[in-house]
Structure 1
């Protein structure tokens, strides 16, 4: 059978999978109970002053950015076809502080070594943009540049999963 019938490329995995473990630094802290917000695998995470993690939201800043929630040990406990898996408030949460991980790029097309942005404000002109979502294109004051993160290969699969590399720890 000719190779052309097999397909051109495989998917890159699921959001939150550590993709190159040789340089990975992963920290574990409790998910903040305030607000009752879960952190999905692959979500950007902030470090709070009380030594807990929270999902990156509209109040997120570069100074608070801690890393990406990874599915290092915890497994999905809801087995619906659209479930992504998450850490609930009060759960211990694994966060990649340095290394490479797969995430969903909701806006733009990644380029190898390109800038990574996280949306902080909705913009009606960009319907795919979600607060706390990774993007490959800047949107004025509606997104922030994560200076220590780059798109690794510039490739994106049909599920919008791409690989990012956190070059250095942003928070202890």
Structure 2
């Protein structure tokens, strides 16, 4: 895979995550309960369900990323090289219009729509801290097991890129839900 300037890569992820955080703060937390829980049909998710789904990923990956940051002494400004599998997962998330079935462990479970919004905002703030901290750390050599299979590991850089692309994918979905509601 072609190398990407690490500073450019990290800056891009940081800026995209800021956009997601700002959207949540300015828009999602000001929605009414019926807007957060509205779904277009029985097969579609609501805004709260989208956020619950994303929060389930954050509940898994953010502690893993924070743990890597706590215990790693791998400092590097080397260019980032996508892994073949990580690159594939990111590309899947960027494929607009194509639907994917969520893994069972990441299906939404909403008990309080406002709590899902608050959790999402908190996770985006944590994500920004992680992305910023990885500016100095190695994102090529350290890998994390995926939430779906402990046998499959992805580079930290691929995990960060996947999470941002995944959040953006569902932000587009949320815009469609709000437009229909």
- TM-score under structure 1 normalisation? 0.23
Question: RCO (CA 8 Å, sep 6+): is it higher in 1 or 2?
Answer: 2
- TM-score under structure 2 normalisation? 0.22
Q: Tell me which protein shows more strand as a share of its residues.
A: 1
Q: Tell me which protein shows more helix as a share of its residues.
A: 2
